[in-house]
Amino acid sequence: MHSPFQEEHKLFRKTVEDFAKNELGPNVDQWEEDELFPNWVFKRAGELGILGAHYAEDVGGSGGDFWMNVVASEALTKCDSAGLVMGLLVQSSMATPVIADIGTDEQKAEFLAPAIAGEKIAALGVSEPGAGSDVAGLRTSARLVGDEYVINGSKTYITNGTRADFVTLMVKTDPDAGHNGISIILCPTDLPGFSVSKKLKKAGNWCSDTAELFFEDVKVPKRYLLGREGMGFVYLMQNFQSERLVGATSALAGSKWALDRSVAWGREREVFGKPLIKREYWKQNFASLYTKYEAALALSYKACAAYNEEKYVKNVPVSMETTKLISMSKAYVGDITGEIMDQCVQFHGGMGYLEDLWVARAWRDQRLLRIGGGATEVMRYAIAKILGF
């Protein structure tokens, strides 16, 4: 496959990797223990252009293509903390793309530009206690009263939720219209009636804060409605594609690093008189894992190329064919990275199960990919639907 990366992508990769290794990496053990990384990380990422490399220059971005976003998702993994990477990717690739796509100039200036600069922290509010993958089942409501929407309800599993300055919020503006009754509203978190119900404790991605949010008669100006009322589900399905792609490319980059580090360790680790990696079983096993990694990468890059062509070159909505590729990529990568991380733990034996070693964190962190941003089962359902069965 011809490399999609040009000189500007390579230079950007070095900038991001240096940031991840030198400024983030030395601190992640403490941040994992604290179960939170500090807000200055967003600001510093904004200063380096990491949060907006793929956004237009008129909103503070660098005017790059989607491959810039792919580079960021891959290079950030060098910090050795998937939770930290997730917090930054929610900011750059999950809570803000829909603002860039359909926001007014005023909305972009008030929300998107400061998010790109790292001056405002963003969260995406979709999942609810009773509605996860079934987005149409959400119940958080927004009722138009004069020039304000009055919001009531709750959201859960919200990354960046404990400290977000605003939430890109999915709400029901017409409770009787199903998918057609959903809208997206930009909700500042300093408004009366908004609260963080609790910070959630997770099995992995510890340093990324995840919260349950509560809305009680929160009054939001009508001008914060994104796009048209009732079109939120359509907008979200388009927005999900970027999220799923960077989730897949980031997970693959992390799994490749895990493979390389495990093999390097296996060259030094002697078992019954010879390096562990020289044992026939592990030679065969790692050969298979590297092959599966390459297959998953090729599929993901094919999906990224299709997405980049439609969104950044032709400026058209994401097609069903590209949506199929993206869904295939996320589902397949989830399976492969899960297998890779599990085998890396097994390769390290007892020490692989200890928190003292990097591989235990990598193992528990990768599990989220098969759930967040659309569960693997939902991805396969979407694939089957597009294929016509």
Rounded Cα distance, 60 and 119, in Å: 12
pLDDT band for position 177 (cuts 50, 70, 90)? confident
Q: In terms of domains, do 164 and 214 share one? A: yes
Rounded Cα distance, 172 and 229, in Å: 10
Q: In terms of domains, do 322 and 382 share one? A: yes
The number of domains in the chain is: 3
Return the beta strands (E) in 234-378 as ranges: 270-271, 274-275
Residues marked as catalytic: 243
Q: In terms of domains, do 361 and 260 share one? A: yes
Specify the pairing of strand 141-145 against strand 148-159.
antiparallel
Q: In terms of domains, do 208 and 246 share one? A: no
Q: In terms of domains, do 34 and 79 share one? A: yes
pLDDT at residue 47, as a whole number: 97
pLDDT band for position 241 (cuts 50, 70, 90)? very high
Name, in order, each residue with C-beta under 8 angstroms of 234's C-beta and a sequence gap of 6 or more.
none
Q: In terms of domains, do 101 and 188 share one? A: no
On whether residue 2 sits in a domain, the answer given is no
Domain final residue, candidates 194, 226, 258: 226
pLDDT 10s digits, 51-74: 999 999 999 999 999 999 999 999
Q: In terms of domains, do 189 and 169 share one? A: yes
Domain final residue, candidates 96, 120, 144: 120
- State the residue range of the domain holding 100: 7-120
pLDDT 10s digits, 204-231: 999 999 999 999 999 999 999 999 999 9
What token pair was written down for 32?
């994992």
- 24, 84 Cβ separation under 8 angstroms: yes
Q: In terms of domains, do 173 and 213 share one? A: yes
- 148, 222 Cβ separation under 8 angstroms: yes
CB-count exposure of residue 32 (10 Å: 0-12, 13-18, 19+): buried
CATH number of residue 86's parent domain: 1.10.540.10
Can you name the residues that pair with 150 across neighbouring β-strands?
143, 219
Rounded Cα distance, 212 and 17, in Å: 32
On whether residue 326 sits in a domain, the answer given is yes
pLDDT 10s digits, 134-149: 677 799 999 999 999 9
Rounded Cα distance, 42 and 160, in Å: 11
